[in-house]
Amino acid sequence: MSLRLKLLLLGLLTLALPWGGCRYARQMEGALREGERNSLQAVAQTIAASLQGRTDFLYREGQDAPPAVNGAASDGAQAAEGTSAAAGTSAATGTTAASAAGTTTRVSGSSTDTESSGTAEPAPTPYDLQPIMLSAAPYVNGYGDDWPRAPGSWRYFAKDQHRFGILTGVNERMLYVLLDIEDSHVVYDTPGSNPLDSAAIGDRVWIGVQDPAGHERQFFIAPNGPGSTPAKRIETGEYGQKIAVEEPRIIGAVQPSQRGYTVEFRVPLSMIGRRFGVLIDDRSARGAIPVSYGTLRSDDLQTVGRLIVSAPELTDYLAQFMQPGLRLAVTTASGRLLAQVDALAQVTELSRQRGILARFYRRFVDRPSDRSYIESEAPIYDRDHREVIGHLRATQTGDRWFNLRDRALTQMLNFTLITSLVAVTAMFAFAAWLAVRLSRLRRASESALTREGLITTFPETQSPDELGDVARGFSTLLGRLNEYTSYLRTLAGKLAHEIRTPLTIVRSSLENLETESQVPASARVYLDRARQGSERLNTILIAMGAATRVEEAISNADRSRFDLVPVVASAADAYRAAFPERRFATELPSEPLMIDGAPDLIVQALDKLIDNAVDFSPAGATITIRVVAESHAAVLEVDNPGPPIAPEILGRLFESLWQSRRGGAENDSRPHFGLGLYIVRLIAEFHGGSATAENLPDATGARFTIRLLRQ
Residues 526 and 585 in one domain: no
Residue 248 has pLDDT above 90, yes or no: yes
Residue 64 has pLDDT above 60, yes or no: no
For the chain, state the CA radius of gyration.
Answer: 53
Residues 570 and 521 in one domain: no
Residues 116 and 258 in one domain: yes
pLDDT in tens, 525-550: 787 888 788 877 777 777 666 666 67
pLDDT at 361: 62
| End position of a domain, from candidates 400, 417, 437 | 400
pLDDT at 5: 73
pLDDT at 263: 96
Distance CA 418, CA 238 (A): 91
Residue 90 has pLDDT above 60, yes or no: no
Residue 485 lies in a domain: yes
pLDDT at 668: 52
The domain containing residue 329 runs over which residues?
A: 10-58+311-350+374-400
Residues 511 and 647 in one domain: no
**Angle CA(88)–CA(142)–CA(296) in degrees, nearest 5?**
30
Residues 581 and 666 in one domain: yes
Tell me the CA distances in angstroms from 463 to 434, 466, 469, 471, 527, one per residue in order.
12, 8, 8, 9, 68
pLDDT at 1: 63
pLDDT at 206: 95
Residue 207 lies in a domain: yes
Residue 92 has pLDDT above 50, yes or no: no
Residue 366 lies in a domain: no
Confidence tier at 149 by pLDDT (50, 70, 90) = confident
Closest residue by Cα to residue 107 from 208, 255, 201: 208
Residue 398 has pLDDT above 80, yes or no: no
Read off the CATH number of the domain in which 510 is found: 1.10.287
- Between 57 and 680, the more confident residue is 680
pLDDT in tens, 483-493: 777 777 677 66
Residue 410 lies in a domain: no
pTM for this entry: 0.48
Residues 548 and 586 in one domain: no
Residue 206 lies in a domain: yes
| End position of a domain, from candidates 511, 528, 552 | 552
Question: Count of domains in the chain?
Answer: 4
pLDDT in tens, 152-165: 889 999 998 899 99
> In this structure, is the dihedral angle defined by the CA atoms of residues 118, 123, 126 and 128, taken in order, positive or negative?
positive
Residue 563 lies in a domain: yes
Residues 175 and 283 in one domain: yes
Residue 123 lies in a domain: yes
| End position of a domain, from candidates 537, 552, 567 | 552
Residues 561 and 546 in one domain: no
Residue 51 lies in a domain: yes
Residue 406 has pLDDT above 80, yes or no: no
Burial label, 307 (beta-carbon count in 10 A; 0-12, 13-18, 19+): buried
Residues 246 and 124 in one domain: yes
pLDDT at 508: 84
Helix, strand, or coil (residue 256)? strand
Residue 250 has pLDDT above 90, yes or no: yes
Distance CA 587, CA 635 (A): 12
Read off the CATH number of the domain in which 194 is found: 2.60.40
**Concatenated DSSP letters of 591-612:** S--EEEE-HHHHHHHHHHHHHH
Residues 218 and 336 in one domain: no
- Average pLDDT, rounded, for the chain: 79
Residues 525 and 579 in one domain: no
Residues 113 and 258 in one domain: yes
